[in-house]
Structure 1
């Protein structure tokens, strides 16, 4: 199969270990693209491993607002930019273009940590007139990706939210969330937190290739079980469902998650915005060449003949017979398993400003 895209190859002397992308396409905002050309010198170069690099950003604000009609939240927070999980289909890859970096390998190897996020968040919560609504975390890049083990930004953010009794909805596939069960359990008891765990496939070999540094499917099922035991309401996110590759697992994913204690479920067909489409097509050709044409064809069937449909109302759902069949299967499975479509609303009435050192104490 000939790909409908022309991707620049990565450095041939760069050894990729547990990486999703194998190319470095220029971001859509870049005026120039790079191409490798032989210089005429047959001098062997040493092979080097593609390693993760982390730089630091000192943000002035961390709460991002949105007015999208497709999203159930109006504010979010990202402790990191880029994601070491390396999921090849990740819709957040194009966001690296805003940094002048590639949505390809750069997205999973050149990461940005925001260690000041907890302090800045506290400052924003204390601004006069702040109106409380749940903050969504993990809606772009995963807050519990591997570098969280060293940087602990998400832990700091969570402690600030807990101290302010501020509601939060977390989306992750990172097992480091279990480290924070102490805080999450207390917040859950007060109706202040809910967690979504995304599971794309139960096939460990497929997950290893498609989501190379994310926890395995059995680990994610265990995460649901342990969060549930701690009293944290969990929603399983069968997302993204990739037609012709993972969509046949929909019922099995929901069943296993329900057995582990998930109370609600959601489902979303894959969407491939901007640079994600050629990266995903390249991955298919490398890892599933016999299925590439079928998978891309079925995605087009759900996206009006294209690999992505950015329109509000359609981008999260897809259209056509394939998309409708997937929705019907999801609805029937949820009904059979007793899975709700959404978790109960979080409590926004408990928000308060904890006293700081030097503050005048209240008499009552």
Structure 2
């Protein structure tokens, strides 16, 4: 990576792209920015705001056949981590915001998530199935330090002895190690830690407000030392940015206790294509066109790939090279271990103990 990499705003996206669902759009014009400069005014304060929303449900059935999870839940929409490649950016448009800077600065908070989760688990027809936190946006993003919604949801999972998986790139998950250890002792939890690079330079430009690589590796080790099964997501693999790190990264996370690895090849669907293209020309101008062309080569010549079964893994020679390296990494470092199946047998018995208690009125929320 270049020594002069710089993200002037401390964000991933550098623009707010137009929301395709809205008729009107807002843009920051150069003449307005110049006026603010001359007047000594701040055109954009670049602050994060938290907006409470009130969903009626929190557990979502995942119908996409190639995602690898059946159910997910997201205590927050939008994510302050600011990962430039994040597929979840597009979902912010459904809420009336931009997938660009709005995604990182307007965080929607679902304070009633624990109550909604408990209601779902107590529903008559629900059978234990692993629910993934957070299949869309990180449940341990900075907002969790303020609102503690993820911790309250984990308390619900523990109370009903229901299996849960977590995906995060934030070391803040260790705050909840007490609950996670209890879930682990009953085979009820698996953790996926996202680590895309061993380089802090790369991490800073790709994922500006995430935990450092050092802290993430320490998180993997701490969880592993406490017998928590940990999978490391090397996702996404981006040609000419982190594709050369597959083997050293796999070796390093294995040494820190990970028992498996997963990966995806980057894809730039919807608004992400415009956001990423703008970002890379501003942040990595010397290699921008090379990276964009190689990404397109992995997806039939386009940045926007929605084909099930191909969109996450890519195709063509570059993708084949990535697949070959992943195969070598798994054979060399993970051939003798695998992630365990979570325990679904305890839930029905535990639910019987609470079936006569009205949801939302347990001492958990008092």
Stretches of structure 1 that go unaligned for 5 or more consecutive residues are 1-14
Q: What's the TM-score, normalizing by structure 2?
A: 0.90
Report the Cα offset of residue 129 of structure 1. 1.4
1:223 aligned onto 2:215: no
Q: 1:321 aligns with which of 317, 324, 330?
A: 317
Partner of 1:309: 305
Report the Cα offset of residue 35 of structure 1. 3.6
Q: Spell out, residue by residue over 1:84-113, the C-alpha distance to the aligned partner (whole angstroms, 9 max, x if none).
A: 000011010010000110101100000011
Q: Spell out, residue by residue over 1:272-310, the C-alpha distance to the aligned partner (whole angstroms, 9 max, x if none).
A: 110111111111111111110110010011000001210
1:21 aligned onto 2:13: yes
1:353 aligned onto 2:351: yes
2: distance between equivalents of 1:119 and 1:359? 13
Partner of 1:3: none
RMSD value over aligned CA atoms? 2.0
Report the Cα offset of residue 41 of structure 1. 9.3
2: distance between equivalents of 1:40 and 1:207? 30
Report the Cα offset of residue 213 of structure 1. 0.5
After the TM superposition, which residues 24-35 of structure 1 pair with which residues of structure 2 at under 5 Å, given as runs? 24-35=16-27
Partner of 1:152: 148
Seen in structure 2, the aligned counterparts of structure 1 residues 61 and 246 have a Cα distance that, compared at 3 Å, is same
Partner of 2:4: none
1:44 aligned onto 2:39: yes
Stretches of structure 2 that go unaligned for 5 or more consecutive residues are 1-6, 359-366
2: distance between equivalents of 1:84 and 1:95? 14
Q: 2:252 aligns with which of 249, 252, 256?
A: 256
Report the Cα offset of residue 338 of structure 1. 2.4
Report the Cα offset of residue 222 of structure 1. 0.6
Q: Which has more helix, going by share of residues?
A: 2
- The answer to whether the 8 A contact 2:11-2:82 is kept is yes
Report the Cα offset of residue 208 of structure 1. 1.0
Q: What's the TM-score, normalizing by structure 1?
A: 0.91
Report the Cα offset of residue 121 of structure 1. 0.6
- The answer to whether the 8 A contact 1:16-1:50 is kept is no
- The answer to whether the 8 A contact 2:122-2:355 is kept is no
SS at match of 1:197: strand
Aligned residue-pair number: 346
Partner of 2:51: 55
1: distance between equivalents of 2:295 and 2:21? 26
SS at match of 1:92: helix
2: distance between equivalents of 1:76 and 1:326? 28
Seen in structure 2, the aligned counterparts of structure 1 residues 118 and 339 have a Cα distance that, compared at 3 Å, is farther
- The answer to whether the 8 A contact 1:82-1:111 is kept is yes
Partner of 1:7: none
After the TM superposition, which residues 60-79 of structure 1 pair with which residues of structure 2 at under 5 Å, given as runs? 60-79=56-75
Report the Cα offset of residue 45 of structure 1. 4.8
- The answer to whether the 8 A contact 1:263-1:339 is kept is no
Report the Cα offset of residue 336 of structure 1. 0.7
2: distance between equivalents of 1:175 and 1:146? 11
Report the Cα offset of residue 267 of structure 1. 1.2
After the TM superposition, which residues 207-356 of structure 1 pair with which residues of structure 2 at under 5 Å, given as runs? 207-339=203-335, 343-351=339-347, 352-353=350-351, 355=353
Seen in structure 2, the aligned counterparts of structure 1 residues 39 and 52 have a Cα distance that, compared at 3 Å, is closer
